[in-house]
């Protein structure tokens, strides 16, 4: 396959991202675990995000249709005050850090993002919102590492920060064994403007 050809589909989600100082604070907390559990598949710190809606594989031509309505949605929303807090694991293998702060506004934003996407004619699997950052995945058969690491920083509470941008993100999912990398397709400031007249 020619690497220069544009893919017919792109794997897409909509998310918020902590600022660098919040990610660095958590990364410092995790540093001992990086050393004690090098076999974990650690996500890159720059890829940490809070997924609001996971859309999965979309035709590449569908993605531009999402931009204008998501931009309008972001423009009408205030930034959210959030913090990273605690830890846990999903299915014994996925290590995560939890989210604290303005969770009502976070759930409202996620619901409105999902409605906006559906109104664009994009079908996707509805999953309950469980606000978190995915930090790492254990290898198959390793059912203890994620829980061990989570126990080590369960009491972590990071400083509050402001989520100020809504991100439309694509990933490089393929058959490679390496980590998944994400890239912003677009991002919009949460500005708190009244957009009803526009």
Q: Which residues are catalytic?
A: 49, 132
Q: Smallest Cα–Cα separation from 165: which of 196, 191, 143, 185?
A: 191
How far apart CA 143 and CA 91 sit, in angstroms, is: 8
Q: Smallest Cα–Cα separation from 51: which of 6, 118, 96, 3?
A: 96
Q: Which long-range contacts (CB under 8 A, 24 or more apart) does 172-179 make?
A: 173/11, 179/41, 179/42, 179/43, 179/44, 179/47
How far apart CA 21 and CA 18 sit, in angstroms, is: 8
CA dihedral 97, 100, 105, 108 (to 10 degrees): 40
Give how far Cα 11 sits from Cα of 8, 119, 161, 173, 181, Å.
10, 19, 28, 7, 11
Identify the three-state secondary structure at position 136: strand
């Amino acid at each position: 396959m020619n690497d220069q050809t544009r893919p017919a589909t792109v794997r897409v989600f909509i998310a918020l991202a902590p600022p660098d100082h919040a990610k660095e604070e958590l990364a410092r907390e995790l540093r001992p675990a990086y050393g004690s559990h090098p076999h974990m598949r650690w996500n890159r710190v720059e890829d940490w995000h809070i997924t609001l809606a996971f859309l999965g594989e979309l035709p590449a031509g569908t993605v531009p249709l999402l931009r204008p309505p998501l931009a309008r949605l972001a423009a009408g929303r205030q930034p959210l005050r959030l913090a990273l807090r605690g830890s846990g694991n999903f299915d014994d293998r996925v290590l995560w850090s939890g989210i604290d702060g303005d969770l009502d506004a976070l759930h409202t934003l996620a619901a409105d993002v999902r409605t906006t996407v559906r109104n664009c004619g994009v079908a996707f699997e509805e999953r309950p919102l469980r606000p978190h950052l995915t930090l790492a995945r254990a290898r198959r058969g390793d059912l203890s590492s994620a829980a061990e690491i989570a126990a080590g920083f369960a009491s972590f509470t990071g400083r509050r920060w402001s989520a100020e941008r809504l991100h439309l993100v694509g990933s490089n999912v393929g058959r490679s064994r390496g980590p998944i990398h994400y890239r912003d397709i677009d991002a919009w400031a949460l500005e708190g403007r009244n957009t009803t007249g526009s």
